[in-house]
Structure 1
Amino acid sequence: MQIRVAVIQATPVFFDIQKTLDKLEALIIESAQKGCQFVLFPESFIPGYPRKFTFGAAVGLRTDAGRELYKTYWQNSLQLPSPELKRIEQISRENNVYLAIGVTERDALNSSLYCTLIYVSPTQGYLGKHQKVKPTGVERLIWAEGTGKDSLRVFDTEIGRMGGLICWENYMPLARMRIYQQAPQLYLAPTADARPTWPATLQHIACEARCYVLGSNQFFSRTDYPEAYQEFLDEDETILCRGGSAIVSPQGEFIAGPLWDQEGILIADLDLDEVLKSKLDFDVIGHYTRPDLFDFNVNKL
């Protein structure tokens, strides 16, 4: 099977879910017009990754202004289900493309936020989600740990088996192994990591999983922050997130990207038979395992 995929490197309309959905729709339409059957968006594309934000918090201290900012962030995050999700399903259906979108998910019951990757089918609508099981560093202030329920899944679709992890979850070997156990053909790695070392992570995962790896990041400049949030930035900062999105083959070679210092859409034609052929000399869940020596178990939640 051959499929055409798109990886989006773009800037959301920061902290504005409706305008970000407008931009998301335009990017999907553009990708669909170029023949893409699947489109991946970065970590927390809705409503934007809050880089440099402190939310007025320090050890033993919270401020009223920080709480007000959290409220704004919460109000512009994606609830499941919601009219906004229905709109995403409609965009997927009208353009006949599968979608994986990094969002900040809000929980209507407990008011917590989660860093989430949602999956949408053009025929079935919302398929499911993966909640980040371990937010990194100060992310833990705003994002709760994912429950694990319905997470760490690979979805079997008409264009291949797809699943993955978010940002530094990809440095958790056991989390990666859980995805590998389900034999993904498309491994998704949306991120906010724009360090020059990140593309090597994507290459390592491709070589380890022997599948295609799609990495998607935002591009963010100072001018993309609304004036009200400029105070969080250092005076000399112009580029806040350089990007580094890429598409990597099952042999660990770059097919598209890495893309730096600009918005863009990376498009590649993928032959899923290459996933099979790459297993000749290495199969992390097959002939390259030693179940007599190692045992791996995932707790059922």
Structure 2
Amino acid sequence: MSTLDIAVIQAAPVLFDLEQSLDKTYDLLKKATAQGAKMVVFPESFLPAYPRGLSFGTVVGSRTDAGREVWQLYWKNSVKVPGKATNLLAKWAKEYAVYLVMGITEQDTVNGSLYCSLLYFSPEGHLLGKHRKLKPTAAERIIWGEGDATTLQTYPTPYGNIGGLICWENYMPLARMALYQQGIHLYLAPTADARESWQATMQHIALEGRCFVVGCNQFVTKSMYPPHLRELPEMTSQPEVMSRGGSVVLSPLGKVLAGPVFDREEVLLATLDLDDIIKSKLDFDPVGHYSRPDMLNFNISN
């Protein structure tokens, strides 16, 4: 394969409603593939929601019963892997013959904990694997557990090796290095970070990894939240636009190929010239001719 048409979904789910969010996922997938996409990437925790602005009734030293009710709603609408939702996603990937990458909040079927995870589906309808976020950021640690090295993987495709890190994992240099060592070609970075500075992070990773980088974020407004959540005390001070987006696609030399898009929902499309990966390695390769394994050694601890 010499090119890849990729679609980046900048949208919000039907927040905290897994069934309706799956319906919206199908509609967005259908729209993206109708425009020729062979790979479709969704944002961090698209199913069932990134719970921006919510405290779940927690402060240091105490929790509230009302907060536990919000937690239960979030937990009930999260995704089991495998389960009904993943079966549908696999079916749709096969129906539209695409690689489908989906950000979820995962409900662990054994321990009951939640994890921020990234799922990879093949055009044959197989769940290739998942990555669990290694280190949730700040208050995210209240709701999500930590992943481990067993999910720090890339997956071979006809377009090259795909893989990724979620949101601020991308600020962890050794986590990035773990993907570079696996020869990553398409680096996916679903996020909840809509700051202008995130664009610099995406460009740096493209230049550092000599790979295509796909940043994917939600566009979310407060009015999208269920009414009983909008009325919570911690939500009253939140702005109407909760996440501006900022989805973007970059080349292995840091050139912006599509986006960034702010302040609206959009299916962002880009055609990747896969030969650009080799061309970019003329003068730099972080695990090849520009590395010094005689001096610097890195291993992943399982």
User: TM-score when scaled to structure 1?
Assistant: 0.97
In 2 relative to 1, CA 210–220 (structure 1 residues): closer, same or farther, beyond 3 Å?
Answer: same
Q: Give the structure 1 partner of residue 268 of structure 2.
A: 266
Say whether residues 1:244 and 2:246 are aligned partners: yes
Q: Where do residues 168-179 of structure 1 align in structure 2 (5 Å cutoff)? A: 168-179=168-179
Question: What SS does the corresponding residue of 1:215 show, helix, strand or coil?
Answer: strand
Alpha-carbon displacement from aligned partner over 1:223-263 (angstroms, at most 9, x marks no partner) = 11111111232347111100000000111011100000000
CA distance in 2, matches of 1:103, 1:289: 35
- Checking the alignment, whether the CA contact within 8 Å between 2:93 and 2:125 is kept in structure 1 is no
Alpha-carbon displacement from aligned partner over 1:184-211 (angstroms, at most 9, x marks no partner) = 1110000000111001100000000011
- Checking the alignment, whether the CA contact within 8 Å between 2:6 and 2:40 is kept in structure 1 is yes
Q: Give the structure 2 partner of residue 122 of structure 1.
A: 123
- Checking the alignment, whether the CA contact within 8 Å between 2:81 and 2:106 is kept in structure 1 is yes
Q: Give the structure 1 partner of residue 207 of structure 2.
A: 207
Question: What SS does the corresponding residue of 1:74 show, helix, strand or coil?
Answer: helix
Question: What SS does the corresponding residue of 1:258 show, helix, strand or coil?
Answer: strand
Say whether residues 1:72 and 2:73 are aligned partners: yes
In 2 relative to 1, CA 160–124 (structure 1 residues): closer, same or farther, beyond 3 Å?
Answer: farther
Alpha-carbon displacement from aligned partner over 1:59-83 (angstroms, at most 9, x marks no partner) = 1101111111111101100001111
Alpha-carbon displacement from aligned partner over 1:73-129 (angstroms, at most 9, x marks no partner) = 011000011111111111111011101111000011111000000000021510000
- Specify the code of the residue in structure 2 equivalent to 1:10: A
Question: Where does the alignment leave 5 or more consecutive residues of structure 2 unmatched?
Answer: none
CA distance in 2, matches of 1:166, 1:176: 11
- Specify the code of the residue in structure 2 equivalent to 1:299: S
Question: What SS does the corresponding residue of 2:184 show, helix, strand or coil?
Answer: coil
CA distance in 2, matches of 1:191, 1:185: 19
CA distance in 2, matches of 1:16, 1:249: 35
Say whether residues 1:142 and 2:143 are aligned partners: yes
- Checking the alignment, whether the CA contact within 8 Å between 1:131 and 1:148 is kept in structure 2 is no
Measured after TM superposition, the shift of residue 147 of structure 1 is 3.0
CA distance in 2, matches of 1:293, 1:159: 32
- Checking the alignment, whether the CA contact within 8 Å between 2:53 and 2:238 is kept in structure 1 is no
CA distance in 1, matches of 2:238, 2:70: 24
Q: How many residues align?
A: 299
Q: Give the structure 2 partner of residue 93 of structure 1.
A: 94
In 2 relative to 1, CA 145–236 (structure 1 residues): closer, same or farther, beyond 3 Å?
Answer: closer
- Specify the code of the residue in structure 2 equivalent to 1:233: M
- Specify the code of the residue in structure 1 equivalent to 2:219: F
CA distance in 2, matches of 1:176, 1:134: 13
- Checking the alignment, whether the CA contact within 8 Å between 2:159 and 2:274 is kept in structure 1 is no
Q: Give the structure 1 partner of residue 293 of structure 2.
A: 291
Say whether residues 1:63 and 2:67 are aligned partners: no
- Specify the code of the residue in structure 2 equivalent to 1:147: D
Measured after TM superposition, the shift of residue 159 of structure 1 is 2.7
CA distance in 1, matches of 2:62, 2:220: 29
CA distance in 2, matches of 1:211, 1:289: 16
- Specify the code of the residue in structure 2 equivalent to 1:191: T
User: TM-score when scaled to structure 2?
Assistant: 0.97
Question: What SS does the corresponding residue of 1:156 show, helix, strand or coil?
Answer: strand
Higher mean C-alpha deviation, range 151-160 or range 260-269 = 151-160
Q: Give the structure 2 partner of residue 164 of structure 1.
A: 164
CA distance in 1, matches of 2:244, 2:224: 13
CA distance in 2, matches of 1:126, 1:74: 22
